[in-house]
A = this chain, B = another copy of it.
Amino acid sequence: MEQLTARQGEILGFIRAFIDRHGYPPTVREIGRHFRIQSSSVFDHLEALKRKGHLEKQGFKPRALRIRDDRGVEGPVTYSEEESVLVPIVGRVAAGLPILAEENIEERVPLPQRLVRHKNSFLLRVQGDSMTGSGILDGDHVIVRPQAWANHGDIVVVRMEDEATVKKLDMSRDKIFLVPTNPAYKPMPAKPNTLILGKVVGLIRGY
């Protein structure tokens, strides 16, 4: 990866911070406004960053920037390429409290970043064998990305009463069904008070 100049480093840092704060990259002119330089000057910097491999850039599209300096080092590696993220294990899900309230958290476990690509993800211990059809066994821990809505076919964590349970979403019919993928169980229609806590994005098992 080619060396950056001080200015190029500033620009890259600004883009990174902007994405952190807003959730989307800045436009050329937004960068320029911050540094009090013209858009064409920013353009030059972006081209340099692209040429040096630190930035991906989709021609002519606004905000189509992606920082690429997080790739690992090539070749045989004898050290960690990857950082760990501390992910909380959620136990009981007390009603009324947000899922990640300290009261619900039992402990925290370091996981590789690739498995936990989103902020506020958490681990939930699976109880029962209702999802064995999807390779989710009793005692497994699922990695959950919090989101209040999910789509047909997603494996989700829903809260019913005081319990968090893992099910597959079936939205193909008139009502929403929570489907256990173990054929020994029957799909149940979602009640009005069922709450989607998040989508299952990973799984961890220890034998």
Contacts and interface: CB of A to CB of B under 8 A. Distances in A.
A110 B107 contact: no
A206 B115 contact: yes
Contacts of A66: 22-24
A67 to B, nearest CB: 8
A1 B151 contact: no
| Chain A residues touching B, range | 35 or more
A80 B70 CA distance: 23
Nearest to A204: B204
Protomer copies? 2
A111 B84 CA distance: 8
A9 B171 contact: yes
A88 B78 contact: yes
Contacts of A12: 149
A149 to B, nearest CB: 5
A120 B67 CA distance: 14
Contact of A108 (B62, B79, B108, B202): B79
Contact of A110 (B80, B143, B145): B80
A167 interface: no
A56 B23 CA distance: 10
A36 interface: no
Interface of A: 1, 4, 6, 9-10, 12-13, 16, 19-20, 22-25, 27, 54, 56, 61-67, 69-70, 72-86, 88, 98-100, 102, 105, 107-112, 114-115, 117-120, 122, 132, 135-137, 140, 143, 145-152, 155, 171, 198, 200-207
